[in-house]
Amino acid sequence: MKKYLFLIIAGVIFSCKNNSVDNGKLNIVTTTTMITDLVENIGGDHINVQGLMGSGVDPHLYKASEGDVSKLANADIIFYNGLHLEGKLVEVFEKMGSQAKTPIALADELDKSTLIGSDYFASNYDPHVWFDINYFKQFATKVTLVLSQQDPKNAASYQTNKNIYITKLDKLQKDAVSVIETLPKEKRILVTAHDAFNYFGKAYGFEVVGLQGLSTATEAGVQDVQKLAAFIINRNIKAIFVESSVPRRTIEALQAAVKSKDHNVEIGGTLFSDALGNKGTNEGTYIGMFMYNVNTIINALK
Ligand SMILES: [Zn+2]
């Protein structure tokens, strides 16, 4: 009897380690928490999703661990942002490209002529595209297409999930606009630790200034801090913002520089930029994160 029990337990452990083989579900690996959330929404119960990056993780600096490499090698599909957001993973993905399962860079599918250019990235584009809800909807369409091609028997289910999710994103767009419209246009200046919010600014009429530039890979210098402090004083900006995936000291240095010139600027709160909040919380979803940011920004700048 004991021997049989052992065999059953061993079998369970073995099958857990080989999900893609044993339960017939697609094994998907994603990078950022935004993409993980999106893929979970479209795939529902039909897929296994493993997100490499957790909450508060900075994708610009993230390096693949040995465990990540084996997850990537065993994946049926890999979804990532692209446009060199995941700067240190590019090499790993390039190696994967020579294998049968090509990783899919969702942002690379967007119409490049509509993107914001940037000299900071090898892609020549600002990769923080998820802050325009319309681009995120296009991510959803691409994910649905790929899942349906790889797993045709569940295609109808993926399509239904996508339709439900798009309806929620449309509602998010309306909710965001109605809150943002309460802030006068001249007060729409967003100062944060790094330039993650350019697409947000373009969509909702904010002037966006980041202390660190587009990537967190280079630290802000003393001159950058002084220049931005002068800008904040000149434009009479009420609040600046910390980001969840960038060290707080960056923005605290800026606040100190403003104070040293006998002015005051509040820290308006922490925004989620390149990663969602903790899983299981409202901000742990793309939709919850987006509204949290909007409310935080508007409340502090009003
Ligand atoms: Zn970023």
Which pLDDT tens digit goes with each residue over 169-220? Answer: 999 999 999 999 999 999 999 999 888 999 999 999 999 998 876 566 666 6
Q: Would you place residue 15 in the very low, low, confident or very high pLDDT band (cuts 50, 70, 90)?
A: very low
Residues 6+ apart with CB under 8 A from 241: 190, 191, 192, 193, 251, 267, 268, 269, 270, 271, 296, 297, 300
**181 Cα: distance to centroid of ligand 1 (angstroms):** 26
171 C-beta neighbours (distance < 10 Å), count: 11
**140 Cα: distance to centroid of ligand 1 (angstroms):** 21
- What is the pairing mode between strands 104-105 and 47-51? unpaired
Residue 99 has what pLDDT? 66
**60 Cα: distance to centroid of ligand 1 (angstroms):** 6
**268 Cα: distance to centroid of ligand 1 (angstroms):** 19
Q: Would you place residue 91 in the very low, low, confident or very high pLDDT band (cuts 50, 70, 90)?
A: confident
Q: Would you place residue 68 in the very low, low, confident or very high pLDDT band (cuts 50, 70, 90)?
A: very high
Residues 6+ apart with CB under 8 A from 178: none
| Lowest mean per-residue pLDDT among 11-15, 81-85, 155-159 | 11-15
pLDDT at 93 over 90: no
Q: Tens digit of pLDDT for each residue in 234-276?
A: 999 999 999 988 888 889 999 999 999 999 999 999 999 999 9
Task: Tell me which residue has tokens 């239904």.
Answer: 160
pLDDT at 40 over 60: yes
> Which two structure tokens, joined as six digits, stand for 34?
């935004």
pLDDT at 8 over 50: no
**28 Cα: distance to centroid of ligand 1 (angstroms):** 23
Q: Would you place residue 95 in the very low, low, confident or very high pLDDT band (cuts 50, 70, 90)?
A: confident
Mean pLDDT of 36-40: 98
**216 Cα: distance to centroid of ligand 1 (angstroms):** 6
Global pTM value = 0.89
> Which two structure tokens, joined as six digits, stand for 109?
């599918």
**197 Cα: distance to centroid of ligand 1 (angstroms):** 9
**205 Cα: distance to centroid of ligand 1 (angstroms):** 20
**137 Cα: distance to centroid of ligand 1 (angstroms):** 20
pLDDT at 120 over 90: no
**136 Cα: distance to centroid of ligand 1 (angstroms):** 16
5 C-beta neighbours (distance < 10 Å), count: 9
**46 Cα: distance to centroid of ligand 1 (angstroms):** 31
**157 Cα: distance to centroid of ligand 1 (angstroms):** 33
**19 Cα: distance to centroid of ligand 1 (angstroms):** 33
**Mean pLDDT, the chain, whole residue set:** 89
**274 Cα: distance to centroid of ligand 1 (angstroms):** 5
When computed from its CA atoms, the radius of gyration of the chain, rounded to whole angstroms, is 21
Q: Tens digit of pLDDT for each residue in 126-162?
A: 999 999 999 999 999 999 999 999 999 999 999 999 9
